[in-house]
């Protein structure tokens, strides 16, 4: 399916870049990113997909209930293994699910919305690309590794740039 292939492509870019970093770079607080680390952004990406996978099983996805697992944000190889595992688990049939979220910090009562698995995979893909743009900033602060040109850039932007260049 094209959607899962797009997630795979983005995860492969992210994984390849993470494999070129060392653990100190992965956990370095970035001044430019308000002292967030590359690992924290990677953890956020991974946990959003984990929440979705759990929501697929129980019919309700709530991204606010992420575990916030420090092992993901501090152990680069563990995070890379999870990215691979997540991609392999995306080959599911579409199904209706409920998204639950409390958008107001003063209100703990969640709102509920009808959605579906593919819609949420697409949301998480776009969300991943957004965080990869921030990760790219963090990588440039701690390393001079070569980052793929489309890293952290939405496919619509890549298509637009390509059309403008012709």
The pLDDT confidence band at residue 160, using thresholds 50, 70 and 90, is: low
Cross-strand bridge partners of residue 112: 100
Q: How far apart are CA 38 and CA 26, in angstroms?
A: 5
pLDDT surpassing 80 at residue 137? yes
Q: Is there a contact between 32 and 136 (Cβ–Cβ < 8 Å)?
A: no
pLDDT of residue 86: 95
Number of domains observed in the structure of the chain: 1
Q: Domain containing 17: what range? A: 2-165
Q: How far apart are CA 93 and CA 96, in angstroms?
A: 10
Q: Per residue in 18-45, pLDDT tens?
A: 999 999 999 999 999 999 999 999 999 9
CATH number (domain holding residue 145): 1.20.120
Helix (H, G, I), strand (E, B), or coil: what is residue 97? strand
Six-digit token string for 41: 């952004």
Helix (H, G, I), strand (E, B), or coil: what is residue 21? coil
Tokens 């991974």 — which residue?
46
């Amino acid at each position: 399916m094209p959607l899962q292939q797009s997630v795979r492509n983005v995860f492969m870019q992210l994984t390849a870049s993470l494999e070129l970093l060392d653990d100190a770079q992965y956990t370095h607080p970035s001044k430019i990113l308000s002292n967030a680390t590359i690992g924290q952004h990677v953890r956020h990406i991974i946990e959003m997909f984990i929440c979705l996978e759990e929501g697929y099983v129980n019919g309700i996805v709530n991204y606010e209930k992420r575990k916030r697992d420090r092992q993901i944000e501090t152990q680069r190889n563990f995070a890379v293994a999870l990215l691979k595992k997540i991609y392999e688990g995306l080959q599911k049939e579409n199904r209706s699910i409920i998204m639950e979220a409390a958008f107001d910090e003063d209100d703990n009562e969640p709102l509920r919305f009808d959605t579906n698995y593919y819609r949420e995979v697409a949301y998480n893909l776009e969300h991943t690309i957004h965080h990869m743009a921030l990760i790219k900033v963090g990588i440039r602060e701690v390393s001079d590794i070569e980052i793929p040109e489309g890293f952290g850039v939405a496919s619509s932007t890549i298509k637009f740039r390509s059309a403008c260049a012709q």
